[in-house]
Chains A and B, each alone.
Chain A
Amino acid sequence: MRTLIFRSIAPFLTSLMVLFSIFVLLRGHNEPGGGFIGGLIAASALAIYGIACGVAAVRRAIHFHPMAISAVGLFMAALAGVLSVFAGVPYMTGLWIYPSLFGVELALSSVLVFDVGVYLVVVGAISSIALGLEEGDRD
C-alpha cells in the first residue's frame, strides 16, 4: 500500500478526516453524531495514516500512547458526571451554561465534556488496536 499517490494524499486525507470527526463530535448533542462516531472517524484517519506512512509515524504524530489518550477520555467522562454534585442533582445530570463570546451565545454543557471523553476513549482504544495489528503485519 505504500504507493507514491497514497503516501502523498494520506496526510491531507487524515487531517481532513480528523477535522470532520471534530465537527461530528461537536454537532452531536441534538443532531446525528457525537463522541462515539466522531472517535471512530478519527481512529480510521489514524489507521489510514498508519497504512500509508508506517506505524512509527502515527505514534510520533499523536505524541501520547493511545492507551493514555483513552485513559484521559475515561477520566473526563467520569468526571463530567461528578460536576452535578455541586449542583445538588444526581450523577450524570446534564448541566448547561451559556457564556457569550463575541456576541454569540455558546451552549456549553457537562454533556459535551462527557462526549469529548467518549471521543478520546474511542480514538485511543480503536487506534491502539489498529496500530497493534498494523505492527503485527510487518513481522
Chain B
Amino acid sequence: MASQSAPLVDLSAVYVTGPVAAADWLVAAPVVWCILVGAVLVMLRKNTRVQPLIAIPALGVLVLMTLALVWHVIANGTVTMTMGRWLPPFGISFTVDLLGAFFAATASCVALAAGIYGRTDVDDSGRRYGFYPFLVLIMAGILGAFMTGDIFNLYVWFEVLLISSFGLLVLGSERAQLDGGVKYAFLNLIATTLFLVATGYLYGLFGTLNMADIAVKASELRGTAPLMTLVTLYLLAFAMKAAAFPVNFWLPASYHTPRLVVSALFAGLLTKVGIYALLRILGMLFPFEREALSLVIAIVAALTMILGVVGALAQNDIRRALGFLVISGIGVMMAGLALGSPAGLAGAIFYAAHSMVVMTALYFAVGIGARLGGGFELTRAGGLYARSGLIAALTLVLFLSVAGLPPFSGLWPKIMLVKASLDVGAWWLAGAILVTGLLTTITVGRIWVLAYWRPAPGEAGEAAAATPLPVGATVALAGLVALSVAAGVWPEPVMALAQDAARGLLDPSAYVQSVFPAEASQ
C-alpha cells in the first residue's frame, strides 16, 4: 500500500473539508454517550446495586447534552455532522433541526424520570435481566431516530429501539409478559418490514437515502415517479408504529403487561417516534402527497381519537385505560398532520411533547397508587385520596392535563389544533377533538372518583395503610408534573418553539442548506 505518498485524488471531492466546531459534536454526542454507557452497564449487569448509580447520573448528563443541543440549534439553526467525513449524500448525516432537538430533550427528561422511578419499581431480578442497560440503549435508538438525516439510518435506529424494547417488555419472563411481548414483537416487525420495503422502493426511485437530498429531488420526480404509492406505504408503516386506528390493536394487548416503569416509558416515547417519523417524512419530504392524503389522515385521526377514548372508558384495569388514552392522543397528533398548516403541525409537535411527559407521568402516578394499596382494578380500588393527599393531587393535575383542561399543558396544543381545523373549515375535525376532550374528562373523572375519592373498600385498606410513600418515585412523578404545569401556565416559549419547528418542516431549505452548504449558496 502506498500509504504515505501524497493523495492522487482531490480529497475535497469526497471529504467534508470544513473544520468541525466543538459545539457541532453535540449532534453525535447524545447517541454515542448512550451507547458507551449502555456498554458499561451490560458489563456490570450482575452488579445490581451499582447500575442505577451509573445510569441515573448518565441520564442526567444526557438531559444536559440535549438541552445544550436545543440551545445550539436555536442559536445557530439546523446543525449537521456527516459521519466518517464523507460528503453527503454518500456519508450518513446526522441533521438536527428544532423538531429533532426539541423531541430529543423532552425524551431525555422522560428517560431520566424513568431511571429514577425504576430504582423503586424494578427489583433485583429485573435489574439482573438488564433494566438499566436496556433503558440507556433504548434511548440511543430513540435519540438516533430523532437526530438522523438519513432514511435508512432511521430504520436502523428503529431496530435498535425495537430490540431494546423487546428486552424491556419481557423483563422477568412472566407468562403474561411473554404473551404481550409476542403480540408486540410480531406486529412491530410487520411495521418495520413495511418501512424497509418502502425504503427500498424509495432508494430505487431516488437513488439516495439522505433526507435533504430527497427533499430536493422530490419536486423533480413528482411528475414521473409513483410517489403516492411510496408515501402511502410509509403512512401505513408509521401509523402502525404510532398505533393509529385501525392498526392500533397491538398497543392495548401489550402495554399493561410489563413492569410499570416500562409501560410508562413506552407510552411516553415509542408511539411518538412513529409520530416523529410521520412528521418528518410526510410533513417535510413529501408535502404534496401528504396534501393529497390529508382527508384519509384526517378520518384516521378522528376515528383514532374517538375510538381510543371510548375504549378507555370501557376498561376496568387502569393501565389498560391509560393505554387507550395513549391511542386517543395519537389521533390528536395525526389531526395536526392531516391539517398540514403551520399551526396544525405546531399543534401536533406541542401535543407530542406534552403527551411524552404527561402519559409517562400518568403511568407513574397509577403505579404509585397501586403500591399504596389501590391496585389496578377499578372495581376494587378506592381511598387513595385519604391515604396520600400529595399523590392524589399530582394525579388530578395529570388527569386534567390529559383531558386538556386549563391551566395545564394539554390545553394549548388542543386550542392550536381546534383553531387550525376551523381555519380550513374542517369543523368535524375540530368537533372530534372537542368531543374527545369531553370523553377523556369523563374517563379520568371516573377513575378519579372510583380509585381516589371513594372510601377504601373494607379489608384492602387497612393492610396497605402502613406502606410508606416511595420517595424516588414521587420525585420522578413530581418532576414530570412540574414540567407539565410549567408548559401550561407559561406556554409561550414552547409554543414559539413548536411553531419554529413546524416552519422548519414546511420549508426545508434551512435543513437542506445545513447538509449541502455549497450547493445552496450557488
Contacts and interface: CB of A to CB of B under 8 A. Distances in A.
* Chains A and B bind each other: yes
Contact of B19 (A71, A84, A88, A98): A88
Given A71-B43, A90-B20, A79 B36 contact: yes
A23 interface: no
B35 interface: yes
A30 B3 CA distance: 13
Contact of A91 (B1, B19, B32, B39): B32
A90 B36 contact: no
Contacts of B85: 84, 89-90, 93
Contacts of B81: 90-91
A88 B16 CA distance: 12
Contacts of A75: 36, 39-40, 43
Contacts of A81: 28, 32, 83
A127 interface: no
A70 B42 CA distance: 9
A118 to B, nearest CB: 13
A107 B39 contact: no
Contacts of B35: 74, 78
Contacts of A11: none
A85 B33 CA distance: 14
Interface in B13-56: 16, 19-20, 25, 28, 32, 35-36, 38-40, 42-43, 45
A72 B38 CA distance: 11
Interface in A65-124: 67-68, 70-72, 74-75, 78-79, 81-82, 84-85, 88-94, 96, 98, 105, 107
Nearest to A75: B39
A128 to B, nearest CB: 11
A68 B32 contact: no
B contacts with A: majority SS: helix
Given A70-B42, A71-B43, A72-B43, A88 B83 contact: no
Contacts of B82: 90
A67 B197 CA distance: 32
Contacts of B19: 88
A70 B41 CA distance: 12
A78 B1 contact: no
> Which of under 10, 10 to 19, 20 to 34, or 35 or more describes the interface residues of B?
20 to 34
Contact of A71 (B1, B40, B84): B40
Nearest to A124: B42
Contacts of A85: 25
Interface residues of A, number: 25
B467 interface: no
Given A67-B42, A88-B19, A107-B3, A94 B84 contact: yes
A121 B70 CA distance: 33
Given A71-B42, A72-B43, A78 B20 contact: no
A89 B20 contact: yes
B4 interface: yes
Given A78-B32, A85-B25, A98-B3, A92 B43 contact: no
Given A85-B25, A89-B20, A74 B84 contact: no
A45 B15 CA distance: 40
Contacts of B1: 30, 107
Given A93-B84, A98-B3, A105-B3, A74 B20 contact: no
Given A90-B16, A105-B3, A78 B39 contact: yes
B36 A78 contact: yes
Contacts of A94: 84
Contacts of A89: 20, 85
A88 B83 CA distance: 13
User: Which residue, of A82, A84, A93, has the highest number of chain B Cβ atoms within 10 A?
Assistant: A93
A78 B40 CA distance: 12
Interface string B48-89: 000000000000000000000000000000000111110000
Interface in A19-47: 30
Contacts of A82: 32
Given A67-B45, A88-B20, A90-B81, A98 B40 contact: no
Nearest to A85: B25
Nearest to A81: B32
B32 A74 contact: no
B85 to A, nearest CB: 4
Contacts of B25: 85, 91
A105 B43 CA distance: 35
Contacts of A91: 25, 28, 32, 81, 83-84
A77 B82 CA distance: 18
A107 B4 CA distance: 10
B4 A98 contact: yes
A94 to B, nearest CB: 7
A55 B85 CA distance: 44
A81 B19 CA distance: 17
User: Which residue, of A70, A90, A93, has the highest number of chain B Cβ atoms within 10 A?
Assistant: A90
Given A71-B43, A88-B19, A88-B20, 8 more contacts: A71-B42, A74-B39, A78-B39, A82-B32, A90-B84, A91-B84, A92-B84, A96-B3
Pairs A-B, 6 closest by C-beta atoms:
A71-B42, A75-B39, A74-B39, A93-B85, A91-B28, A71-B43
21 contacts: A68-B43, A72-B39, A72-B43, A74-B38, A74-B39, A75-B36, A75-B40, A78-B32, A78-B35, A78-B36, A78-B39, A81-B28, A81-B32, A85-B25, A88-B20, A89-B20, A90-B84, A93-B84, A98-B3, A98-B4, A107-B3
